[in-house]
């Protein structure tokens, strides 16, 4: 624990014949717990970063958009990369199709075949699209694009209106194929403060079992097959 004086101490020294004086010591702070620089974030600055949308729709803003509105926006803002119908252009990702492909050697992870929530689709479009000008779309435009992409995947009908009430109610086709409970066991060890083991015994190891192929480089030289 360091203790700082409220009034910064000064040092005087010489370097190359130049007198260095009245230089505050690094680490001096006016108040305990503060470092003497920066300023509290304003509500506007916090709001600019607080843009995440939860799977249950928490955080979705006011506004709305239709499938038809989204189709017009998609054609001008998105089709050059994703194609007019979400088929993907060149190496840009597909947004539609891929149903039943997740168990194949080359699965197509599209919005329709893979995504578990519709609300997080709004989050991604708002956060990162279009590629050349992210976060340039209005909330209504993002709602409209979300509706159109969902319609491209036959998840919603053509008269669907996306808003903060309707999006969380959309059930995505692959939702139930995600594992929501962490299957990993809890392996945190209790801290030993007394009567601890003095040594540990290794019951098994890879030594001498030739588990590493000898064809991968000089690190494996000398291994007998």
Give the other-Cβ count within 10 Å of 156's Cβ.
21
SS3 call for 148: helix
DSSP 48-115: HH-----TT-TT--S--EEHHHHHHHHHHHTHHHH-TTS---TTSPP-S--TT-TTSSS----TTTT-
- 13 in any annotated domain: no
- 222 in any annotated domain: no
Number of domains in the chain: 1
- 131 in any annotated domain: yes
- 154 in any annotated domain: yes
Contact predicate 77/130, CB 8 Å? yes
Q: What is the pLDDT along the chain (225 residues), one digit of tens a residue?
A: 444 344 444 334 444 444 444 444 454 445 555 677 888 899 999 988 999 999 999 999 999 999 999 999 999 999 999 999 999 999 999 999 999 999 999 999 999 999 999 999 999 999 999 999 999 999 999 999 999 999 999 999 999 999 999 999 999 999 999 988 888 888 887 777 788 877 777 777 777 777 665 554 554 454 444
- 54 in any annotated domain: no
DSSP symbol at 223: -
Contact predicate 22/7, CB 8 Å? no
Q: At what angle do helices 139-152 and 119-128 cross, to 10 degrees?
A: 120
0.75 cut: is pTM over it? no
- 75 in any annotated domain: yes
- 204 in any annotated domain: no
CATH of the domain at 170: 1.10.760.10
- 71 in any annotated domain: yes
Range of the domain at 112: 64-177
């Amino acid at each position: 624990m360091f203790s700082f004086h409220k009034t910064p101490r000064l040092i005087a020294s010489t370097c190359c014949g130049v007198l260095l004086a009245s230089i505050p010591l690094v680490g001096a702070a006016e108040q305990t717990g503060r470092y003497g620089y920066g300023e509290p974030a304003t509500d506007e600055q916090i709001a600019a970063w607080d843009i995440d949308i939860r799977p249950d729709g928490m955080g979705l803003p006011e506004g709305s958009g239709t499938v038809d509105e989204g189709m017009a926006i998609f054609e001008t803002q998105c089709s050059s990369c994703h194609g007019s119908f979400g088929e993907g252009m060149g190496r840009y990702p597909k947004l539609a199709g891929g149903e039943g492909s997740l168990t194949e050697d080359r699965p197509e992870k599209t919005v329709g075949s893979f995504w578990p929530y519709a609300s997080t689709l709004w989050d991604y479009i708002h956060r990162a699209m279009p590629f050349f000008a992210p976060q340039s779309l209005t909330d209504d435009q993002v709602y409209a694009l979300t509706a159109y992409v969902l319609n491209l995947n036959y998840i919603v009908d053509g008269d669907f209106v996306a808003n903060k009430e309707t999006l969380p109610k959309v059930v995505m086709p692959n939702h139930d194929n995600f594992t929501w409970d962490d299957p990993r066991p809890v392996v945190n060890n209790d801290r030993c403060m007394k009567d601890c083991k003095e040594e540990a015994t290794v019951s098994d190891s890879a030594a001498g079992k030739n588990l590493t192929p000898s064809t991968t480089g000089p690190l494996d030289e000398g291994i007998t097959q």
